[in-house]
Structure 1
Amino acid sequence: MSNIAVQRIKREFKEVAKSEEGAKCEIRVELVNDSFTELRGEIAGPPDTPYEGGKYHLEIKVPETYPFNPPKVRFITKIWHPNISSVTGAICLDILKDQWAAAMTLRTVLLSIQALLSSAEPDDPQDAVVARQYKENYDVFLKTARFWCSCYAGAPKQASNGFEEKIKWLTDMGANEQVAIRTLSSSSWNIEKATEELFS
Structure 2
Amino acid sequence: MAIRRLRRDLRNILKNKVDGIDASPSPDNLFVWNAIICGPEDTIFEKVRFTSKLFHPNVWHDDGLICVDILKDEWTPSLDVLSILNSIRILLIDPSPLNPTNLETALLYRDDRQINGVGGFK
Normalising TM by the smaller chain, what interval? Answer: 0.7 to 0.9
Matches of 1:35 and 1:79 in 2, distance apart? 25
* 1:66-88 Cα distance to aligned partner (Å, 9 max, x none): xxxxxxxxxx3332211012332
Matches within 5 A, 1:90-101: 90-101=65-76
For residue 55 of structure 2, the aligned residue among 55, 80, 89 is 80
Q: Tell me the equivalent position of 2:16.
A: 19
Query: 1:29 is matched by which residue type in structure 2?
Result: A
CA RMSD of aligned residues (A): 1.8
Percent sequence identity over aligned pairs? 30
Matches within 5 A, 1:88-167: 88-138=63-113, 139=116, 142-143=121-122
Query: 1:5 is matched by which residue type in structure 2?
Result: A
Q: Tell me the equivalent position of 1:39.
A: 33
Matches of 2:80 and 2:52 in 1, distance apart? 22
For residue 10 of structure 1, the aligned residue among 7, 10, 17 is 7
Radius of gyration: which is bigger?
1
Paired residue secondary structure (1:133): helix
Count of aligned pairs between the two proteins:
117
Q: Any conservation in 2 of the 1:85–1:126 contact (CA below 8 Å)?
A: yes
**Unaligned 5+ runs, structure 2:** none
Matches of 2:5 and 2:38 in 1, distance apart? 25
Matches of 2:43 and 2:74 in 1, distance apart? 26
Matches of 1:120 and 1:36 in 2, distance apart? 30
Paired residue secondary structure (1:134): helix
Task: Name whichever structure is richer in helix by fraction.
Answer: 1
Shift of residue 51, structure 1, vs aligned partner: 1.5
- What is the TM-score of this pair, normalised by structure 1? 0.53
Matches of 1:101 and 1:49 in 2, distance apart? 31
* 1:15-46 Cα distance to aligned partner (Å, 9 max, x none): 112213x2xx2211122253412111111112
Query: 1:9 is matched by which residue type in structure 2?
Result: L
Matches of 2:91 and 2:32 in 1, distance apart? 22
Given the superposition, is the C-alpha separation of residues 135 and 55 from structure 1 closer, same or farther in structure 2, using an over 3 Å criterion? closer
* 1:87-108 Cα distance to aligned partner (Å, 9 max, x none): 3211110000010111110000
